[in-house]
Chain A
């Protein structure tokens, strides 16, 4: 059987890639994609821990389903916000949103 730490390393790597994407991308949609990668890294973690520690209970799997659901809701709200702001400013480049300072 594949050892647990393989999965943990994969999840950690995916999380870091997602976090880097969220911080480095200029397009708001790109940032959202980075965040989705982070959430999916968590899902790998949850399911791996479930399989290797408490396989008799469904906690980890169930949690992963909740995360997927919430991620979908988040994407829906986020894309709606992007459209609203695109109509106003004609851009979704996060570096151009700097009207408030101080």
Chain B
């Protein structure tokens, strides 16, 4: 009997994360000081990050079920950084909303394992299983705040709509399987190129891809599959929102990029569909964000708009657009996580949300926090020389290169709309008088401040010193073979 080559090192980040999750669940029974569990989970996330750098890119594993190529490694690292920052953010405040800190940390690690598995999945089977692993953990995490009735409502909505969407995802996958006779992305890429006419059920392919886009579009919150996003982001505990808003996006977009590369995106109807989705997503996300008073809800709509910008890069269907999307994901990880971390720093212990009024006069009370929040807002708005500006520049130039100048113009107009509500937050912090009942939030401890500082530093660095990041992004995209 011969054993197939498994190439286990490829899944070493997942092994580290899952083992750590199990250790934490057991340690939870004996350790009274729950903060230690937080540190264990943080060490696990950093350890998984360290393993990413130990193996060579482009090694397939499990009979091509997983592929740790440049794209997989880059996005795995981004997800793990997001997880580490979210855990650092959680350590201090997790006791505010739950007594089950061990389960909380274990679920964060399991969600991270699902996300990292999704980034290296190169078969529809692994893509589906990874999406479900991350989703099941996040359904529970978004309902973790027992004090806030909105939290369990968020979990219920996320679960029902998520399960509904995975039905569409699966139906799409089944049709693609019927059309191509395989679920493996590499085999699909080889099969489609020469025989696009003689495939047995070729007409099912566009239909399958369309349904797949519905399923993945739900995960990354594209309009019109975004209905869950504002409610879930608002109801979920703030550290969970910070984590899921960036981690899920990075992982799902990595899978989407990989699927589009395998399907051979040139001259295919779905690129136009993606361009349409991008326009809808950017516009509706920004317009809805304008009239929000809850900051978590505003950032939720803003994250929908940002998904639209990233799809602009994918709709371009060229390497420049994919590079822009990857850079965007990394930049978005830091700036959005940082913004949510500031919200956590200003919210009171019993609260789960912050209104714009609460930020009035923040600059006078906590100047450092206000300056860093302004940095994140400027970056999200796309003001140079911060990371958010270059991210938008790259995806839009990808669109222009692909002959979609109209899409880039829509994107720029949308950035201008978006700037309004980001700057409104800044104005509230620096130029408004504090409200009379602005009771003091607890002074944020060093883990929260460290998270914010790291995110702010990365937002700055990604903008002004791009060479190492862009090099690994270009390398990642060049091995993808976007046709």
Chain A interface (Cβ within 8 Å of chain B)? 8, 11, 15, 18-19, 22, 28, 31-32, 35, 38-39, 41-42, 45-46, 49, 53-54, 59-60, 62-63, 66-67, 70, 73-74, 77-78, 80-82, 84-85, 88-89, 92, 94, 97, 99-100, 102
Contacts and interface: CB of A to CB of B under 8 A. Distances in A.
23 contacts: A15-B171, A19-B164, A38-B168, A38-B170, A39-B167, A39-B170, A42-B173, A45-B171, A53-B200, A53-B201, A59-B125, A59-B182, A74-B166, A78-B159, A78-B160, A80-B140, A81-B140, A88-B149, A97-B153, A97-B156, A99-B149, A100-B230, A102-B230
Would you list the 5 A-B pairs with minimal beta carbon distance, nearest first? A38-B167, A49-B178, A45-B174, A42-B170, A35-B163
Contacts of B155: 81, 84-85
B66 to A, nearest CB: 15
Contacts of B154: 100
Interface in B120-161: 124-125, 128-129, 132, 136, 139-140, 143, 149-150, 152-157, 159-160
B239 interface: no
Contacts of A67: 128, 170
B159 A81 contact: yes
A15 B167 contact: yes
Interface in B410-432: none
Nearest to B174: A45
Contacts of A59: 125, 177, 182-183
A74 B183 contact: no
A95 to B, nearest CB: 12
**What is the interface of chain A mostly: helix, strand, loop, or mixed?**
helix
B337 to A, nearest CB: 22
A62 B125 CA distance: 9
Contacts of A38: 164, 167-168, 170-171
A53 B153 CA distance: 44
A89 B153 CA distance: 10
A46 B156 contact: no
A61 B391 CA distance: 42
A28 B168 CA distance: 19
A19 B200 CA distance: 28
Given A45-B174, A77-B140, A89 B125 contact: no
A47 B155 CA distance: 33
Contacts of A35: 160, 163-164, 167
**What is the interface of chain B mostly: helix, strand, loop, or mixed?**
helix
B297 interface: yes
A66 B125 contact: yes
Contacts of A100: 150, 153-154, 230-231, 234-235, 297
A85 B153 contact: yes
B322 interface: no
B177 A99 contact: no
A20 to B, nearest CB: 12
Contacts of B149: 88-89, 99
Nearest to B169: A42
Nearest to B183: A59
B275 interface: no
Interface string B174-186: 1101100111000
B12 interface: no
Interface string B32-59: 0000000000000000000000000000
Contacts of A46: 174, 177
A78 B163 contact: yes
A82 B156 contact: yes
A74 B136 contact: yes
A35 B139 CA distance: 16
Contacts of B230: 100, 102
Nearest to B142: A81
B353 to A, nearest CB: 10
Nearest to A22: B164
B231 to A, nearest CB: 5
A32 B163 contact: yes
A54 B136 contact: no
B150 A99 contact: yes
B64 interface: no
B177 A63 contact: yes
A28 B160 contact: yes
A80 B152 CA distance: 11
Contacts of B297: 100, 102
B177 A28 contact: no
B40 to A, nearest CB: 24
A50 B227 CA distance: 35
Contacts of A97: 153, 156-157
Given A59-B183, A73-B136, A85 B152 contact: yes
Given A28-B160, A39-B166, A49-B174, 10 more contacts: A18-B167, A63-B173, A66-B125, A77-B139, A77-B140, A78-B160, A81-B139, A84-B152, A85-B155, A92-B156
B292 interface: yes
Contacts of B234: 100
Contacts of A41: 171
A18 B163 CA distance: 12
A35 B294 CA distance: 32
